[in-house]
Chains A and B, each alone.
Chain A
Amino acid sequence: MSDKFALRRVIVVGILFAGLSWLAPAAESLSAQKILTSSEAIRIPARSFSATLTLTEFRDGKQVDANTLTSYAMAQTDGRFSSLVRFVQPARDAGKLILKNGNDMWFYDPASKASVRLSPQQRLMGQASNGDVATVNLSKDYRASLAGEEEVVDGERRKRRAYKLSLEAAVADVTYPRIDMWVDADTSQPLKARFYAESARLLKTAYYRRFQPQLGANRPTETVIIDGLYPQSVTLMRFSDYVARDIPPSWMQRDFLPRFQPD
């Protein structure tokens, strides 16, 4: 073999390796995104639905507050959701509404007839953000990368083998710039997530548990939300009464809020 051929082979092999090394992270990222997509398909139904949402707030192990809400989630063609959340109890808050279309968030109080624009950081109840009580498909707003494979304790205190995904915001002004998420390596069930601020400070930890068959899949029906700075502050977010239903698009408009009435 002449030196010329040898040199050519070295160049071809070099290009192949360079190409592979460039493609490898992309493939891994694609795979991590697929894991996240599968996990989100379990966490939330793929179609429009309504559900009852119970938020129970604890401080130092004692219950300090409880809210019952009705959530109306409308699936959009791109897989994202628009959500309208109505307060049912306590009596003081009955009839108040939260509307969320991505970053377009509104709070409506039927007493004052005021529609107030909310920022993603604004929270109205316990440790649950407005993004938490609304239906948010994380696979649409975050880019996932695989950060490892670990054994974690899940929300039922069982040890599970899980993929650790690192989620970076792919769109502007999301509630959390970075999220670490643990997904069961065998079933793709979401197990746990840590939510971080821009400053890398831990804002809260969430455990997904009480998996039950709801709207065609075994879904988590309760999320334990633990404050990052003050772990004794805990909010349990429980979903029940899932109903698949068509939701009029006009319900998801700010100008319709004063006219909304539950059926």
Chain B
Amino acid sequence: MNTLLFCRVMGCLTLSMLAALTVYADELDALDLQSAAPAEAPPGAGKLYLEAALGQASPSGQTGTRQVGRLSLDYAITTSLNNGLRATFSNRLDYFDPEPSGTDTIVNSLRELYLSWQNPAATRVLEAGRINLRYGPAYGYNPTDFFRDGSVRALTTFDPLALRENRLGTFMLRGQTLWDGGSLSLALAPKLADQSSNSGWSVDAGATNNRHRALAVLGTQWSPSVNSQTLLYWQDGNSTALGVNVTALVSDATTAHLEITHSSEPTLLTRTQGATTPTVARNRLAGGLTYTTARKLSLTAEYHYNGFAPDSAEWTALNLTDRGNFLVGRLPLQELASRQAYMLYLSQKDLLRQPLELTAMLRLNAQDHSRMSWLELRYRGSRFDLAAQLLHYSGDSGSEYGLVPDSRVVQILGHWFY
């Protein structure tokens, strides 16, 4: 018996030593590898890419499918002029087939065009022009992103992170001052047009500058683990809104984020009907946690609350047509359609130890329990990406996601970088 035990122990030890030797042999093999030469970006080069998408959409409640396609050209550049002055230009051109309802086949989005000046110590910044000014650390819903409404001209993705890549900036004059542990900025955005334009080639100042607006932001670094932004937002016709967003490091693998705003304004239902009164004082909130494993898997869970969205009783009181109009009307506002919602966002980089990235998202309406599921598998090459996407809506016929015209969209995307 003792001999048997001894043999087992020795066997295990031998195997362990062999395994260790294999590891160390592999380690020494690694020392033969050579680094690639450093690549240099051409000075003053912008970022240009072409994106092509082809897919099939399945209309809700019908058999059969229809083809959907898109071709997009995206370019952004920042050029140094002199004396701390820089110019930024960012533009996107989308061609849709078939033509989406409410817009042209070709939609041009002039996202940014502005001049920026910094002093040599980089403690003062002055900017003027169309600037994409974005706040809020949450993934799926950003109450403190006060310049979000009207900013998306062409909806090309459902990934909330990618959605922000294709939005219009707001024409504004902006100043910022920074000091050790904090910053203060002020943005003034004048009214330039009455309403948004449906013309595909329009600069569309009316989408982002259809009223006078101002935003002051105080950034504070409370500790290495906690950072906040306090925002005061004013727009013509409404009282001042107050917002706070906070991010914190919870552990070596977990971060937390929270956004809260309080404002007095018309309800979302009133806004989608084009009215500006009556106003009510309510809150918006988005909060969540992101956990990352050592193997590059990140999982974000978020809770969303919009005090201005219809509650269950108000939603039930709407007929199907009103619900449809409400859902279409709130899209450009980038507002949460239900009083409460949940979101799960998962990202796995280097899937199967390959240059593959898996991204999945689930949005759940907490009131009617309808769901939006989105899945993307992306291959990352050095100069091109290839992605397969699946978008699926489910829920009762009168629910938020059950009312979406296409219940499922499958598409392949190619992304070429120059």
- Do B221 and A104 touch (CB < 8 A)? yes
- Do B26 and A226 touch (CB < 8 A)? yes
Q: Give Cα distance in the complex from A230 to B26, angstroms.
A: 9
Q: Which of B41, B123, B178 contacts A94 (CB 8 A)?
A: B41
- Do A226 and B35 touch (CB < 8 A)? no
- Do B30 and A121 touch (CB < 8 A)? no
Q: Give Cα distance in the complex from A203 to B180, angstroms.
A: 35
- Residues of A contacting B134 with CB < 8 Å? 112-114
- Do A226 and B27 touch (CB < 8 A)? yes
- Residues of B contacting A248 with CB < 8 Å? 120-123
Check A259 for interface membership: any CB of B closer than 8 A.
yes
- Do B33 and A231 touch (CB < 8 A)? no
Which residues 102-128 in A have Cβ within 8 Å of B in the complex?
Answer: 102-105, 110-124
Q: How far is the CB of B25 from chain A (nearest CB, A)?
A: 9
- Residues of B contacting A63 with CB < 8 Å? 36
- Do A91 and B252 touch (CB < 8 A)? no
Check B118 for interface membership: any CB of A closer than 8 A.
yes
* In the complex with contacts A231-B30, A255-B219, A116-B137 CB distance below 8 A: yes
- Residues of B contacting A16 with CB < 8 Å? none
Binds B, one of A34-42, A50-58, A160-168: A50-58
Q: How far is the CB of B183 from chain A (nearest CB, A)?
A: 4
* In the complex with contacts A231-B27, A248-B121, A256-B178, A197-B294 CB distance below 8 A: yes
- Do B183 and A253 touch (CB < 8 A)? yes
Q: Give Cα distance in the complex from A259 to B121, angstroms.
A: 13
Check B254 for interface membership: any CB of A closer than 8 A.
yes
From B30, B123, B133, B382, name the one whose CB has the most chain A CB atoms within 10 angstroms.
B30
- Do B249 and A54 touch (CB < 8 A)? no
- Residues of B contacting A113 with CB < 8 Å? 132-134, 164
Q: How far is the CB of B22 from chain A (nearest CB, A)?
A: 8
- Do A92 and B385 touch (CB < 8 A)? yes
Q: Give Cα distance in the complex from A80 to B132, angstroms.
A: 34
* In the complex with contacts A119-B292, A120-B252, A253-B221, A230-B353 CB distance below 8 A: yes
Q: How far is the CB of B85 from chain A (nearest CB, A)?
A: 11
Q: How far is the CB of B132 from chain A (nearest CB, A)?
A: 5
Q: How far is the CB of A174 from chain B (nearest CB, A)?
A: 7
Q: How far is the CB of A57 from chain B (nearest CB, A)?
A: 9
- Do A173 and B355 touch (CB < 8 A)? no
Check B34 for interface membership: any CB of A closer than 8 A.
yes
- Do B292 and A121 touch (CB < 8 A)? yes
- Residues of B contacting A58 with CB < 8 Å? 30, 33
Which residues 45-86 in B have Cβ within 8 Å of A in the complex?
Answer: 47, 49, 76, 78, 80, 86
Check A48 for interface membership: any CB of B closer than 8 A.
no
- Residues of A contacting B4 with CB < 8 Å? none
Q: How far is the CB of A125 from chain B (nearest CB, A)?
A: 9
- Residues of A contacting B183 with CB < 8 Å? 250, 253, 255-256
Check A234 for interface membership: any CB of B closer than 8 A.
yes
Chain A: how many interface residues by the 8 Å CB criterion? 73
Q: Give Cα distance in the complex from A245 to B288, angstroms.
A: 39
From A114, A240, A241, name the one whose CB has the most chain B CB atoms within 10 angstroms.
A114
Check B247 for interface membership: any CB of A closer than 8 A.
yes
- Residues of A contacting B349 with CB < 8 Å? 124
Nearest B residue to A171 by beta-carbon distance?
B224
Nearest A residue to B121 by beta-carbon distance?
A248
Which residues 59-83 in A have Cβ within 8 Å of B in the complex?
Answer: 59, 61, 63-66, 68
- Do B249 and A117 touch (CB < 8 A)? yes
Nearest B residue to A225 by beta-carbon distance?
B30
Check A232 for interface membership: any CB of B closer than 8 A.
yes
Q: How far is the CB of B248 from chain A (nearest CB, A)?
A: 8
- Residues of B contacting A250 with CB < 8 Å? 121-123, 178, 183
Which residues 154-205 in A have Cβ within 8 Å of B in the complex?
Answer: 155-157, 173-175, 197, 203, 205
- Residues of B contacting A231 with CB < 8 Å? 23, 26-27, 30
- Residues of B contacting A115 with CB < 8 Å? 137
Check B125 for interface membership: any CB of A closer than 8 A.
yes
- Do A68 and B38 touch (CB < 8 A)? yes
Q: Give Cα distance in the complex from A117 to B183, angstroms.
A: 18
- Do B28 and A119 touch (CB < 8 A)? no
- Residues of A contacting B33 with CB < 8 Å? 56, 58, 61, 224, 234, 236
Q: Give Cα distance in the complex from A261 to B382, angstroms.
A: 24
- Residues of B contacting A49 with CB < 8 Å? none
> 13 interchain pairs (CB within 8 A)?
A59-B353, A94-B41, A104-B224, A119-B249, A123-B296, A197-B294, A207-B27, A224-B33, A231-B30, A248-B121, A250-B183, A255-B185, A261-B86
A positions within 8 Å CB-CB of B: 52, 54, 56, 58-59, 61, 63-66, 68, 88-92, 94-95, 101-105, 110-124, 153, 155-157, 173-175, 197, 203, 205, 207, 209, 222, 224, 226, 230-234, 236, 238, 240-241, 248-251, 253-256, 259, 261, 263
User: Which 3 A-B pairs rank lowest in CB-CB distance, beginning with the nearest?
Assistant: A231-B26, A89-B39, A91-B417
Name 16 extra pairs, CB < 8 A, besides A118-B255, A203-B294: A90-B383, A103-B225, A103-B249, A110-B76, A112-B134, A112-B162, A114-B134, A117-B255, A119-B253, A123-B296, A197-B294, A231-B23, A231-B30, A233-B353, A254-B219, A261-B80
